[in-house]
């Protein structure tokens, strides 16, 4: 086993999901937006992992928008809370996909 540093990074993704039986969304919701922190060696891998996990969780991912890594977001002047930083670190430590926020859509 080598001690090479991990190339994993955490990416901030915005995922729109549609309705699917058993998705856990409120009864009259038409879908939702999820803010996700996902680890990956690049954004494409983070997106693939996120979509796969959301499908396993009986949701219907429709669209994914990437907002970059913590460093990229800081460079763009985004205000990132300590809570969000902790969730990003957890995603990195656990090589995980973390849903940080869910906002249901209603017509």
Residue 82 lies in a domain: yes
Q: How many folded domains does the chain comprise?
A: 1
Residue 16 lies in a domain: yes
Burial of 46 (0-12, 13-18, 19+ CB in 10 A): buried
Cα angle: 33, vertex 96, 93; to 5 degrees: 130
Q: Using a cut of 0.85, tell me whether the model's pTM lies above it.
A: yes
Residue 60 lies in a domain: yes
Total length of the chain: 107
- Please give the residue range of the domain that contains residue 46: 9-105
Under DSSP, is residue 97 helix (H, G, I), strand (E, B) or coil?
Answer: strand
Residue 36 lies in a domain: yes
In tens, the pLDDT along 19-56 reads: 999 899 999 999 999 999 999 999 999 999 999 999 99
Tokens representing residue 94 in the block:
């656990």
Q: Which residues pair with residue 11 across a beta bridge?
A: 38, 69
Residue 2 lies in a domain: no
Residue 71 lies in a domain: yes
Residue 74 lies in a domain: yes
Percent of the chain with pLDDT strictly greater than 70:
94
Residue 51 lies in a domain: yes
């Amino acid at each position: 086993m080598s001690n090479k540093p991990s190339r994993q990074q955490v990416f901030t993704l915005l995922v729109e999901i549609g309705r699917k039986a058993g998705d856990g969304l409120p009864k009259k919701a038409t879908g939702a937006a999820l803010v996700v922190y996902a680890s990956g060696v690049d954004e494409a891998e983070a997106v693939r992992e996120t979509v796969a996990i959301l499908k396993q969780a009986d949701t219907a991912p429709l669209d994914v928008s990437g907002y970059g890594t913590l460093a990229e977001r800081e460079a763009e002047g985004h205000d990132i809370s300590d809570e969000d930083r902790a969730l990003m670190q957890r995603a990195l430590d656990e090589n995980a996909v973390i849903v940080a926020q869910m906002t249901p859509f209603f017509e």
